[in-house]
């Protein structure tokens, strides 16, 4: 998928991750390799390796391969690959737009905007969902009909911490376990794969944008979602949580008529183009309902 920055410049993306996923899910050999890879014990083992001091050896290779500008991040010694993956940016490198009427991005990522109706389908991590299947709640899906879904795709080279988009009262976290269904890859030339990633959501009763649903979607193989708060009063720009290793996605659902998304983002989304945004920057404004 093409991606542009806010100035209209096309961004060249490292497509290695996409090519690997395409091989694993769409090629017969890849599907044979995938079945053992998604076993829970192997995911736990991989997580343990990435938490170990041994995994520090991967850091220079990752920085070079993904061309990460380390001047953006705190200068410190990392104790494991996951410690590095969840690194913090230096103070002042992410400016939070504090204007109450401005809708901000919760994270760094590639943003696509969708209108929500009863027939809407959204592709997340190579899986197609309706809003009801994504939330596993008919009531919530119906509530957001007519509203807007903001999909932020984070690749492995992005900043993997995220923040609250407004002041307000946050509910507890609702966790949905991932599932993976397959058929025998040797039985058919065309081999259906159905999967759901682990995800977690909460609702923010915000001061400026109504009842905002925020969902974090983890990577299928290793990724972990770490949210810091259960029920709490939170502030715009306050860190909400982080993803540990793996590409990730954040979804924000807005009620009908609550916000107007910036024209460049809407135009890009209508043309099948993602928009590169950074945590805390304006991506829209409050709709004047008066």
> How far is residue 263 from each of residues 4, 30, 151, 232, 285, measured CA to CA in Å?
13, 40, 16, 33, 11
pLDDT at 38: 64
- Residue pair 201/215 in contact by the 8 Å Cβ criterion: yes
pLDDT at 189: 42
For 44-78, how does the pLDDT look when each residue is reduced to its tens digit (9 = 90+)? 787 788 899 999 999 999 899 888 999 999 999 99
Catalytic residue among 206, 248, 262, 269: 248
For 183-228, how does the pLDDT look when each residue is reduced to its tens digit (9 = 90+)? 444 434 444 455 677 899 999 999 999 999 999 998 765 568 999 9
pLDDT at 218: 83
Kindly report the average pLDDT of the chain as a whole number. 87
**92 phi and psi angles, rounded to 5 deg:** 90, -5
- The domain limits of the chain are 95-286
- Residue pair 150/254 in contact by the 8 Å Cβ criterion: yes
For 141-171, how does the pLDDT look when each residue is reduced to its tens digit (9 = 90+)? 999 999 999 999 998 889 999 999 999 999 9
Catalytic residue among 108, 158, 166, 262: 108
- Mark whether 248 is an active-site residue: yes
d(CA 69, CA 17): 19
Model pTM greater than 0.75?
yes
- Mark whether 52 is an active-site residue: no
């Amino acid at each position: 998928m093409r991606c542009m920055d806010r100035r209209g410049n096309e961004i060249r993306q490292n497509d290695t991750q996409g090519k690997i996923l395409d091989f694993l899910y769409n090629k017969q050999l890849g599907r044979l390799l995938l079945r053992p890879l998604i076993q829970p014990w192997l995911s736990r083992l991989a997580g343990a390796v990435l938490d170990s001091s041994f995994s520090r050896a991967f850091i220079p290779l990752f920085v070079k391969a993904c061309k990460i500008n380390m001047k953006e991040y705190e200068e410190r010694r990392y104790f494991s690959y996951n410690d590095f993956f969840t690194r913090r940016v230096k103070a002042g490198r992410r400016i939070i737009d504090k204007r109450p009427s401005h809708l901000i991005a919760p994270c760094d990522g590639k943003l696509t905007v969708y209108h929500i109706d009863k027939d809407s389908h959204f592709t997340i991590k190579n899986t197609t969902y309706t809003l009801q299947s994504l939330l596993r709640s008919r009531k919530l899906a119906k509530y957001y009909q007519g509203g807007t879904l903001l999909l932020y795709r984070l690749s492995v080279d992005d900043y993997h911490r995220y923040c609250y988009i407004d002041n307000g009262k946050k509910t507890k976290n609702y966790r949905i376990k991932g599932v993976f269904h397959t058929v025998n890859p040797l039985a058919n030339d065309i081999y259906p794969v159905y999967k759901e990633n682990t995800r977690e959501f909460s609702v923010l009763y915000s001061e400026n944008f109504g009842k905002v649903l925020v969902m974090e979607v983890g990577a299928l193989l290793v990724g972990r979602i770490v949210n810091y708060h259960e029920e709490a009063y939170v502030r715009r720009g306050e860190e909400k949580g982080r993803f540990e290793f793996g590409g990730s996605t954040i979804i924000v659902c807005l009620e009908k008529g609550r916000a107007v998304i910036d024209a460049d983002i809407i135009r890009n989304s209508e043309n099948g183009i993602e928009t590169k945004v950074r945590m805390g920057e304006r991506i829209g404004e409050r709709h004047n309902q008066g």
